[in-house]
């Protein structure tokens, strides 16, 4: 099985849809940010606050290399900023089925609030920051093999849509 990577900004549903998709495909689910946190011995918030984004991307590249070296195929959730690191993003596009979980900014915000994602939602400019982030990253997310619209859909429906799209892309 080719590795399937779920991409999108925070609130896309990668950590919710990923385990459900992996279960349906009878494979493992990997949360790449968890591997980054484990390697650093710090939470993502602490990594960014203490060491900055470049250190995070360095750890992310190492976690990705470990994943590619040890996995024969899985479903994994990449950090939302993986597309900002050209080296990692190019490796992923070459080796994986990339699935962009697309939604409206309002949907992303609603999901982050529901998940109590305070690192990003506590800023007064959060919605304008989110829209700017999406405007910057969407062209790269758009390079994904598949785009799945998730606004207003349950995680189970998103999984069904991903599986149907994967089947269609294999039959082309």
CB 76 within 8 A of CB 123: no
Cα–Cα distance, 74 to 3 (Å, whole number): 5
pLDDT at 77: 96
Cα–Cα distance, 171 to 113 (Å, whole number): 39
If you average pLDDT over residues 81-105, what whole number do you get?
93
Tens digits of per-residue pLDDT, 40-68?
999 988 998 899 889 999 999 999 999 99
Lowest mean pLDDT: which of 32-36, 59-63, 128-132?
A: 128-132
User: pTM score > 0.75 for this model?
Assistant: yes
Cα–Cα distance, 132 to 76 (Å, whole number): 25
Cα–Cα distance, 145 to 136 (Å, whole number): 19
Q: Residue 61 has which token pair?
A: 């590249």
pLDDT at 80: 84
If you average pLDDT over residues 95-114, what whole number do you get?
86
pLDDT class of 131 with cuts at 50, 70, 90? confident
Q: Residue 17 has which token pair?
A: 């849809």
Closest listed residue to residue 143, CA positions, set 86, 98, 102: 98
Q: Residue 121 has which token pair?
A: 């939602």
């Amino acid at each position: 099985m080719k590795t399937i990577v779920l991409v999108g900004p925070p609130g896309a549903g990668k950590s919710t849809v990923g385990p459900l998709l992996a279960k349906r495909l009878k494979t493992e689910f990997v949360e790449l940010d968890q591997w980054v946190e484990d390697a650093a011995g710090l939470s993502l918030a602490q990594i960014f606050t203490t060491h900055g984004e470049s250190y995070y991307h360095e750890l992310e590249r190492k976690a990705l290399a470990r994943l590619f070296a040890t996995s024969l195929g899985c479903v994994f959730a990449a950090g939302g900023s993986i597309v900002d690191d050209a080296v990692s993003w190019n490796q992923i596009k070459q080796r994986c089925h990339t699935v962009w979980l697309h939604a409206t900014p309002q949907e992303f915000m609603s999901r982050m609030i529901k998940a109590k994602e305070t690192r990003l939602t506590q800023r007064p400019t959060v919605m304008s920051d989110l829209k700017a982030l999406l405007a910057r990253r969407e062209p790269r997310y758009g390079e994904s093999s598949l785009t799945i619209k998730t606004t207003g859909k349950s995680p189970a429906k998103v999984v069904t849509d991903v599986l149907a799209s994967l089947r269609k892309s294999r039959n082309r």
